[in-house]
């Protein structure tokens, strides 16, 4: 067993040579993730979380739980979920704007300079 106190990481190796890595964390797990994930991974995580709730169908978004739809030009209105929908919480109210916010974090296009 090796412990690197400075890194806050310990590694265990059991009899079957399965290595387990443990991270000592003084922050809440969510704060640790925020601190240590790269911007690209945050973008991926946010997009995956959004996609778990929504599907794009042409100019509509569909809730993946209640299957209700909203047209893009109604983006300023709260999404009308079925009363039994599991995604009708605060995060389920303005999915177009949530998508725009995620896409607003896209890395800028890499430009090539042509003289
Ligand atoms: Zn719904």
CA distances from 20 to 1, 3, 12, 17, 53 (A): 10, 12, 5, 9, 33
Domain locations along the chain: 1-36, 38-103
5 CB-near residues (< 8 Å, 6+ apart)? none
- Position with higher pLDDT, 45 vs 32: 45
53 in helix, strand or coil?
Answer: helix
pLDDT tens per residue, range 37-66:
788 899 999 999 999 999 999 999 999 999
Q: How far is the CA of 73 from the centre of ligand 1 (A)?
A: 18
Q: How far is the CA of 62 from the centre of ligand 1 (A)?
A: 8
Q: How far is the CA of 54 from the centre of ligand 1 (A)?
A: 9
Q: How far is the CA of 47 from the centre of ligand 1 (A)?
A: 18
pTM of the predicted protein model: 0.65
Q: Phi then psi for 5, rounded to 5 degrees?
A: -65, -35
Q: How far is the CA of 79 from the centre of ligand 1 (A)?
A: 8
């Amino acid at each position: 067993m090796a412990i690197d106190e400075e890194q806050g990481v310990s590694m265990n190796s059991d009899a079957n040579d399965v290595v387990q890595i443990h991270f000592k964390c003084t922050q809440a797990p969510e704060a640790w993730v925020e601190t240590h994930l790269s911007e690209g991974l945050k973008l991926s995580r946010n997009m995956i979380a959004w996609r778990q709730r929504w599907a794009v169908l042409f100019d509509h978004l569909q809730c993946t739980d209640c299957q209700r739809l909203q047209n893009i030009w109604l983006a300023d209105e709260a999404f009308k979920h079925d009363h039994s929908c599991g995604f009708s919480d605060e995060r389920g109210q303005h999915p177009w704007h949530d998508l725009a916010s995620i896409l607003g974090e896209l890395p800028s296009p890499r430009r090539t300079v042509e003289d």
